[in-house]
């Protein structure tokens, strides 16, 4: 079964996470998403990243990931971060269509897009990694700080709390909030408006935006990934993760 589906909207695409109700992030989903991002880069002028009706994504599939040894988890974590990096730096406009909860890894994926259109009502986002004993991964930490500044980013990362999308829009994380039924169409509109610009000029402008993030990530990711994994495999964190996995 495909865990990520690619839908064509003329010269635009919708990349849809399709891993059950929760859209939990697994090694297989990361592999499929990586391949589709490469395809979208070659074949389309823009892309919308979408999820499901109840979850954009619940984040890492803790029950599955807790079964991995250090080598397996290291490989997964590197590949996940590389997918986020590829989504961040893809030289076409992107938007996340957030119709439902985007938790932890789900928030990370939406942050990597150029635009974020979200649903009104009780749709929650947040980076709760610290409550589970691990830091927010380095690259999304950098991305969030670029988007909203140090003060708001630190508040979100240090507290690990969830906020609704109306609050997220006030903080500058989400660009606009719409009725749930309109979110994907509005996200496509966001991408379409920018995709009309000359492609080379847009790609250059986007490269300018992500240049500092790219340089810092490429310089530091090995040490930062190691720190995350050292936290992940500590006895305290394993207890917290095991308890959290019961909610899946």
Question: pLDDT digits over 24-42, tens only?
Answer: 999 999 999 999 999 999 9
Determine, yes or no, domain membership for 107. yes
Determine, yes or no, domain membership for 98. yes
pLDDT at 1: 64
Determine, yes or no, domain membership for 182. yes
Q: Looking at residue 127, which CATH number applies to its domain?
A: 3.90.226.10
Single pTM value for the model: 0.97
Determine, yes or no, domain membership for 238. no
Q: What is the percentage of the chain residues whose pLDDT exceeds 90?
A: 99
pLDDT digits (tens, 9 = 90+) for 134-163: 999 999 999 999 999 999 999 999 999 999
Mean pLDDT (whole number) for 198-221: 97
Cβ-based neighbours of 194, under 8 Å, separated by 6 or more: 46, 93, 114, 202
Number of domains comprising the chain: 1
Determine, yes or no, domain membership for 25. yes
Determine, yes or no, domain membership for 189. yes
pLDDT at 248: 85
Mean pLDDT (whole number) for 50-61: 97
Judge whether residue 124 has pLDDT over 70. yes
Determine, yes or no, domain membership for 231. no
**Quick one: CA dihedral 169, 85, 63, 29, positive or negative?**
positive
Mean pLDDT (whole number) for 176-205: 97
Q: Range of 172's domain?
A: 4-195
């Amino acid at each position: 079964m495909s865990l990520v589906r690619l839908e064509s909207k003329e010269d635009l695409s919708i990349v849809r996470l399709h891993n059950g109700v929760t859209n939990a992030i697994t090694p297989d989903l990361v592999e499929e998403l990586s391949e589709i991002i490469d395809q979208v880069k070659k074949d389309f002028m823009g892309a919308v990243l979408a999820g499901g009706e109840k979850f954009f994504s619940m984040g890492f599939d803790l029950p599955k990931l807790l079964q991995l040894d250090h080598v397996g988890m290291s490989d997964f974590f590197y590949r996940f971060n590389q997918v986020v990096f590829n989504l961040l730096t893809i030289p076409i406009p992107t938007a996340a269509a957030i119709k439902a909860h985007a938790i932890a890894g789900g928030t990370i994926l939406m942050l990597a897009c150029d635009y974020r259109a979200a649903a009104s009502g009780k749709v929650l986002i947040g980076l709760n990694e610290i409550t589970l004993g691990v830091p927010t991964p380095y690259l999304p930490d950098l991305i969030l700080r670029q988007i909203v500044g140090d003060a708001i980013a630190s508040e979100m990362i240090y507290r690990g709390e969830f906020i609704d999308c109306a609050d997220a829009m006030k903080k500058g994380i989400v660009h606009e909030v719409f009725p749930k039924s309109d979110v994907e169409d509005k996200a496509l509109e966001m991408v379409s408006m920018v995709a009309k610009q000359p492609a080379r000029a847009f790609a250059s402008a986007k490269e300018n935006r992500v240049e500092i993030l790219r340089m810092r990530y490429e310089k530091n990711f090995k040490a930062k990934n190691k720190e995350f994994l050292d936290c992940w495999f500590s006895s305290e964190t394993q207890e917290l993760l095991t308890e959290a996995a019961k909610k899946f």
